[in-house]
């Protein structure tokens, strides 16, 4: 047991989650790359996570990870602790007319659950390859809709393990960005969704998923969109215009199906992917005069 984490007070166990050491992050990222995390904690629930975080030393590096679908972990791994939310905080229910979903619930499950509850407005979430926590943190969206369009209130946790509930008005959300206090993370959200027809909502979800399958390289490990769309244009169009579709660095390739996706075609390293991201950005700037903003989050150390 790591002495830095007082998981027991005397003989009383205060946490019930799973504590792992030197855990390969390639198991938890959609690119299937990345070095090991010094420590990983998979909480048994919200109160358990609060107890664990309260036990942490001040200043210890801390990272929250959901599906790892918008994340690149460098080959040298992560110092400090990773909190794994997927398959941990997964409660979802209708309460007081709002759809409650914890941060580890996948966005697609929220969309499907919403439809079955005869609600509409959450269908777009079926096209977002991540969890509620990630969707909240980056204001994920597609097809003209964004996560914070339907948020009523959220639950958060800070470094000390203190839990807070705040109204949507406490946050300023913009394209792929949300302003929030430092060292605070989302635990859950309540979504305000109007009543609607279940069949129609399910049809929209089915159509969206079919389009995603048709236009995105879902057969290969990827992390979704690499860059944000610049105002009035599309990152994929700019990248394709530079002739970069199919461009390879090691095992990382600009997708031949969707130019704003990087795919792992086999044995890619995180460095391959990071170098390819840089090459794409530099090339678009040189040939198109547009400075693309990266959507993928990069953490960890070089090998």
Catalytic residues: 176, 225, 295
Distance between CA atoms of residues 278 and 129, nearest Å: 23
CB–CB of 260/67 below 8 Å? no
Task: List C-alpha distances in Å: 216 to 209, 244, 263.
Answer: 10, 16, 10
> How many Å is the Cα radius of gyration of the chain?
20
3-state secondary structure the chain: CCCCCCCEECCEECCCCEEEEEEEHHHCCCCCCCCEEEEEEECCCHHHHHHHHHCCCCCCCEEEECCCCCEEECCCCEEEEEEECCCCCCCEEEECCEEEEECCCEHHHHHHHHHHCCECCCHHHHHCCCEHHHHHHHCCEECCEEHHHCEEEEEEEECCCCEEEEEHHHCEEECCEEECCCCEEEEEEEECCCECCHHHHHHHHHHHHHHHHHHCCCCCCECCCCECCCCCCCHHHHHHHCCCCCCEECCEEECCCCCCCEEECCCCCHHHHHHHHHHHHHHHHHHHCCCCCECCEEECCCC
């Amino acid at each position: 047991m790591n002495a830095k984490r007082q998981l027991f007070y005397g003989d009383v166990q205060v946490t019930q989650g799973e504590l792992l050491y030197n855990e390969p992050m390639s198991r938890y990222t959609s690119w299937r790359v990345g070095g090991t995390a010094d420590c990983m904690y998979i909480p048994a629930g919200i109160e358990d996570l609060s107890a664990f975080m309260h036990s942490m030393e001040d200043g210890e590096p801390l990272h929250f990870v959901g599906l790892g679908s918008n994340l690149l972990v460098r080959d040298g791994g992560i110092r400090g602790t990773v909190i794994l939310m997927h398959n941990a905080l997964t409660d979802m229910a209708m309460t007081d007319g709002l759809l409650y979903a914890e941060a580890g619930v996948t966005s697609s499950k929220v969309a499907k659950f919403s439809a079955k509850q005869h609600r509409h407005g959450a269908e777009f979430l079926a096209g977002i390859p991540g969890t509620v926590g990630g969707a909240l943190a980056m204001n994920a969206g597609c097809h003209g809709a964004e996560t914070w369009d339907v948020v009523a209130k959220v639950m958060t946790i800070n470094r000390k393990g203190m839990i807070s509930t705040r109204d949507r008005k406490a946050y300023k959300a913009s394209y792929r960005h949300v302003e929030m206090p430092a060292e605070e993370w989302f635990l859950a959200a309540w979504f305000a969704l109007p009543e609607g027809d279940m069949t129609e909502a399910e049809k929209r979800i089915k159509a969206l998923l079919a389009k995603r399958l048709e236009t995105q390289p879902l057969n290969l490990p990827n992390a979704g969109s690499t860059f944000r769309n610049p105002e009035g244009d599309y990152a994929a169009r700019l990248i394709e215009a530079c002739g970069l579709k199919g461009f390879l660095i090691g095992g990382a390739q600009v997708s031949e199906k969707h130019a704003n996706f990087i795919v792992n075609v086999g044995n890619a390293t995180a460095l391959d992917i990071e170098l390819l991201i840089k090459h794409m950005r530099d090339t678009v700037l040189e040939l198109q005069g547009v400075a693309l903003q990266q959507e993928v989050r990069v953490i960890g150390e070089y090998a």
